[in-house]
């Protein structure tokens, strides 16, 4: 495939992923890595690095804007971010230790599992939660996240 055609195809797929990711409520990196890693002739390590680089600038404005516009709570946001550094380092170690084909199969299985969960979700708009769990009670998280 000529380089120009490859660049145009990558642009078109990335553009579509950006639109679908917003409509589906998932980050673009969730779709970008498995799709580009599976259908384009790039090594999976480069694709994963590109997915991480594209995700970081998009998150910075969201962190500042959502609490100001009352679309997110600082308390909920900070509680959800406690585990991020640990899981990112652990994920990087595991991802670099796995062979590329195993990582691609795991990514595909993850996307299929997410799709199955989304199809099975019945009351995702207004879930019924009978009682508060222990972690949210310890952190003082209650009510509805705006």
pLDDT digits (tens, 9 = 90+) for 114-129: 788 878 876 666 667 7
Which pTM does this prediction carry? 0.56
- 22: helix, strand or coil: helix
| Weakly modelled stretches of the chain, pLDDT under 70 | 22, 24-29, 54-82, 122-127, 143-146
Q: How many CA atoms lie within 13 A of 74 on its CB side?
A: 5
For residues 70 and 145, what is the distance between their CA atoms, to the nearest angstrom?
Answer: 10
Residues 46 and 111: beta-carbon distance below 8 Å: no
């Amino acid at each position: 495939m000529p380089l120009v055609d490859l660049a145009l195809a990558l642009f078109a797929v990335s553009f579509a992923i950006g639109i679908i990711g917003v409509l589906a409520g998932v980050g673009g990196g969730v779709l970008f890595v498995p799709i580009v890693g599976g259908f384009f002739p790039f090594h999976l390590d480069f694709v994963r690095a590109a997915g991480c680089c594209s995700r970081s600038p998009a998150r910075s404005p969201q962190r500042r804007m959502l609490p100001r516009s009352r679309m997110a709570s600082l308390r909920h946001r900070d509680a959800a971010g406690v585990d991020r550094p640990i899981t990112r380092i652990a994920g990087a170690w595991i991802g670099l230790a796995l062979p590329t084909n195993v990582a691609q199969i795991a990514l595909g299985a993850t996307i299929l599992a997410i799709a199955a969960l989304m199809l099975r979700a019945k009351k995702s708009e207004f879930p019924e939660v009978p009682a508060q769990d222990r972690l949210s009670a310890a952190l003082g998280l209650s009510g509805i996240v705006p």
